[in-house]
Amino acid sequence: MGDFRPRTVWLGHPEKREQRYPKNVINNQKYNFFTFLPGVLFNQFKYFFNLYFLLLSCSQFVEELRLGALYTYWVPLGLVLFITIMREAIEEIRCYLRDKEVNSQVYSRLSTRGTVKVKSSSIQVGDLIIVEKNQRVPADMIFLRTSERNGSCFLRTDQLDGETDWKLRLPVACTQRLPTAADLLQIRSYVYAEEPNIDIHNFIGTFTREDGDPPVNESLSIENTLWASTVVASGTVVGVVIYTGKELRSVMNTSNPRHKVGLFDLEVNCLTKILFGALVVVSLVMVALQHFAGRWYLQIFRFLLLFSHIVPISLRVNLDMGKMVFSWMIKKDSKIPGTVVRASTIPEQLGRISYLLTDKTGSTALHALCSLSKRFTGASKSSSKMGAYVK
């Protein structure tokens, strides 16, 4: 794996790599095959609401506390867990398919045997990659050549920095002057690049051609870079890969996938604690009315079980089903085509939006949020507030 230090990258010569670099694989999944079930169960039972029903069901294995058949407690809990696990599984599968699509995109690589096709996941540091117009840049690269007559190209960077205006990029001067792209393999040259970091707006490096007379040295800046997740908007470009996998600027600026919990879920969890406290008080009162006779401590637990339906387990089912329906409605909404629901655990949060501060590049997203907020709340108050910022 990469050790986050400056590196010397020789153009098109993999045998000269000085160290191992991470594979150019994009992975946005929260779990893998082995951690899925433990991870989902942990994320469910770390909150009091679900833990309460788990302890309630487990108490029925104690003969002195049993109030009915086991299935009356375990079937509802199992239904809740089944719905949650299925929802998480569907999201993980969709995430896996999205990652697979990105990792399987085919690019052209310059080699001594000519131009060969290679998947994005197989691209390595030092490879010379050809990126066509409207094609996503598969890795962080230094811009070497372009087919444009003006000797430059433009990038769409909205998936990297959220800005919709195109960015101008310039190739390395001495490689742009070469007659053909294949000549890049005939020269003896390398790129010295800084260590990987999260700064997408700056870059420090040098390009050196040793077989020239005299040798050529050019300083490199952000204008000579092609960061991954950007899209080539003009012409065909050729670049040399300097960062891959977890060392990509886009990956380093992305937080690790995590289990998202909405404010409404936290409020329900808090209310459950309050109701449980009320159950304890009521149970103590009932035992006190019996003057704490006999095995009063056991009676407290039995009263807790008898009054446990004050906290309905059906609420958990309704919440999960509601989230799935909301996510489906968002995805199928004709007024916001192309919307992708990446997390079905927090769609109800859209109904809580009152203010959204953004610059001019966020206008499209802002209109979509206004529409969603109005649909969820059934009122236009919050939408009118947000709409004022669009103007």
Confidence of residue 118 (pLDDT cuts 50, 70, 90): very high
Please give the mean pLDDT across all residues of the chain.
82
Contacts of 48 (CB under 8 A, 6+ apart): 269, 272, 273, 276
Across the chain, where does the E strand assignment appear? 7-10, 106-111, 114-119, 128-131, 140-146, 153-156, 167-169, 189-193, 205-209, 216-220, 225-226, 231-232, 237-243
Q: Which one is predicted more confidently, 261 or 97?
A: 97
Examine the pLDDT at 260 and tell me if it is beyond 80: no
What does the pLDDT look like over 221-247, one tens digit per residue? 999 999 998 999 998 999 999 999 899
pLDDT, position 3: 56
pLDDT digits (tens, 9 = 90+) for 121-137: 999 998 999 999 999 99
Cα within 13 Å of Cα(55), Cβ side: 13
Q: What pLDDT does residue 222 have?
A: 93
Q: Which pLDDT value is given to residue 258?
A: 67
pLDDT in tens, 155-164: 998 888 878 7
Split at pLDDT 50, 70, 90, the class of 390 is very low
What pLDDT does residue 205 have? 92
* Active-site choice (199, 213, 333, 359): 359
| pLDDT value of residue 383 | 40
> Token pair 């811009």 is at which residue?
143
Contact between 169 and 155 under an 8 Å Cβ cutoff? The reply is: yes
Q: Is the pLDDT of residue 365 over 60?
A: no
The reported pLDDT for the residue numbered 384 is: 39
pTM: 0.74
359 is catalytic: yes
Q: What are phi and psi of 117, to 5 degrees?
A: -85, 140
What's the pLDDT tens digit per position in 190-224?
999 999 999 999 999 999 998 877 888 899 999 99
Cα–Cα distance list, 62 to 51, 53, 70, 327, 351 (Å): 18, 15, 11, 41, 44
